[in-house]
Amino acid sequence: MSEVLHKCAPGGQGEDPAPSRSALDAEAVKAAYRRWAGVYDTVFGSVSGFGRRRAVEAVNRLSGTKVLEVGVGTGLALPFYTKDKQITGIDLSGDMLARARERVQREKLGNVDALLEMDAEETCFDDASFDIAVAMFVASVVPHPRKLLRELKRVVKPGGHILFVNHFLAPNGVRGAVERGMARASRSLGWHPDFAMESLLPPDDLVRARIQPVPPAGLFTLVTLDNI
């Protein structure tokens, strides 16, 4: 595995067309996940594990070997990829990546090519670098979700696949009310409890995406989009 620490300089490449919401800037995300890094696996590992495994199972069934995992975090999903998948993981948090590197070494995961500190909205990869990109619990973290989507469309080959597993806002009911109430704590949490799927997917992508609820109780959703 490459030990390169690769950072891209931030830049502005147009406005986020998504519905307005309180944005999390990069420093807020880094600060939040610096706090979470030491306890992330314990606090979130079991709950998010269903979504991670479902996303990896979907990736493993797809053709193509070069996989970009966006929001690799502490590397919880890395052991579940089949050996023919060559994984590059990126994350904005150096603290989380340090634990992912420890996991790769401890579990001897030879199919992990690199773990890089990088902004998912503006990566350093060439066009069409990957067959598949999978973003796990990232869409509700980045400041501009549709910029993230555009970037993944750029780095994935035409005919490849883009997957998201994420929590999305319940449209109504008690859960929706609770999620909207929690939105005030977005900066401390490091993610948006009130994140709507329409903030990520424009109408044309929304109608052609494959959308599957994920346990427990459909709290998370797996979205698969063919890159055209």
pLDDT tens-digit profile of 129-188? 999 999 998 998 888 999 999 999 999 999 999 999 988 865 544 344 444 444 443 444
6 contacts 124 by C-beta, under 8 angstroms: yes
One DSSP character per residue, 77-111 reads: TGGGS-TT-EEEEEES-HHHHHHHHHHHHHHT-TT
In this predicted structure, what is the pLDDT of residue 181? 41
Considering the entire predicted model, what is its pTM? 0.77
89 contacts 115 by C-beta, under 8 angstroms: yes
In this predicted structure, what is the pLDDT of residue 71? 92
In this predicted structure, what is the pLDDT of residue 194? 57
Residue 35 has pLDDT above 80, yes or no: no
pLDDT category at 50 given cuts 50, 70, 90 is confident
Bridge partner residues of 225 (DSSP): 162
26-226 to CATH, choices 3.40.50.300, 3.40.190.10, 1.10.287.1080, 3.40.50.150: 3.40.50.150
In this predicted structure, what is the pLDDT of residue 168? 83
* Cα 26 → chain centroid: 15
In this predicted structure, what is the pLDDT of residue 188? 42
The C-alpha R_g of the chain, in whole angstroms, comes to: 16
pLDDT category at 222 given cuts 50, 70, 90 is very high
pLDDT category at 8 given cuts 50, 70, 90 is low
pLDDT in tens, 90-140: 998 898 899 999 999 999 999 999 999 999 999 999 999 999 999 998 998
Provide mean pLDDT across the span 55-79: 96
Q: Where are the domains of the chain?
A: 26-226
